[in-house]
Structure 1
Amino acid sequence: MDRRMKVTPETPWKDIPRGGTMLDGGNAVDFKTGDWRVMKPIWYEDKCKHCMFCWAVCPDMSIIVEDGKMTSIDYDHCKGCGVCVEQCNFKALELVDEE
C-alpha cells in the first residue's frame, strides 16, 4: 500500500503532514536524518580501544563495526546527539560544529 501523501493545490493545509513526519514504521534507512545534525562526532582511530561502549549507546546505530571493531561513523544517519562522545573514556570521539 502506498501511504505517501498526495498533495495538490486543492489540498487543505490541515491535511498536509508536518515536515519530517515518517508515515511508515521501519523506514529510517530511507531518510538521511544526519542532515538534521548541528554537531558532528569525530572519531580518532589511534585513541580507540574498540570497547564498543559508543556502539551500545548510539540511539541511531551510527557506529559502524566490522569484525568486532569500530571502523567509522554513519554520518547519513548520525544526528550528532553526542551520547557516544560522553560515553568514551579514551577521548577517541569528539563533538565539533557541523560545517
Structure 2
Amino acid sequence: MALKSWKEILPGGMITDGGNSINYKTGDWRSYRPMWDDKKCNNCKVCWVYCPDGSITIKDGVMIGMDLEHCKGCGICAQECPQKAIKMMEETKVREAVK
C-alpha cells in the first residue's frame, strides 16, 4: 500500500491556514520590556530580523520604535543588537518610573 501524498491527506490533521497574533494584544503579560535608545541605534535592523513577534516598527527603512502591545519581552532583540541600543528592564520598574 502506497503512502498518500500531502495533497491527498484530509484536513483533519493539517493546519490549512496560517495564523498570527495581530488580533491578540499579548504585551501586557511580559516580565521585561525592551527599552530602545535611538541615539545608539544605527538602523542595522538586526533586531527586526530576529524578533519572533514582529514587534520592531520600521517606517521608510528606519526603526521608529517597538509595538509593545504585541512584544512578549523575550529579549532576543536586546541580545542580538550589535550596538547594545536595546536594554531589557523589569516591567514593574518601568511602570513605576512612568507614574
- TM-score by length of structure 2 reads 0.72
Alignment counterpart, residue 90 of structure 2, candidates 90, 93, 97: 97
Q: What's the CA shift for 1:90?
A: 0.7
Structure 2 CA distance for aligned equivalents of residues 42 and 90 of structure 1: 13
Secondary structure of the 2:39 match is helix
2:75 matched to 1:82?
A: yes
The structure where helix makes up a greater share of residues is 2
2:42 matched to 1:52?
A: no
- Superposition RMSD in Å: 1.4
Based on CA coordinates, which of the two structures has the bigger radius of gyration? 2
* Structure 1 runs (4+) greater than 2 angstroms displaced: 24-27
Encode CA deviations 1:28-58: one digit per residue, 9 max, x unaligned: 1111111121000000000000000000000
Q: Using a 3 Å threshold, how does the CA distance of structure 1 residues 27 and 91 change in structure 2: closer, same or farther?
A: closer
Q: How many residues align?
A: 76
Encode CA deviations 1:48-97: one digit per residue, 9 max, x unaligned: 00000000000000000001110000000000000000001111100000
Task: Give the gaps of 5 or more residues in structure 1.
Answer: 1-23
User: Partner residue of 2:32?
Assistant: 39
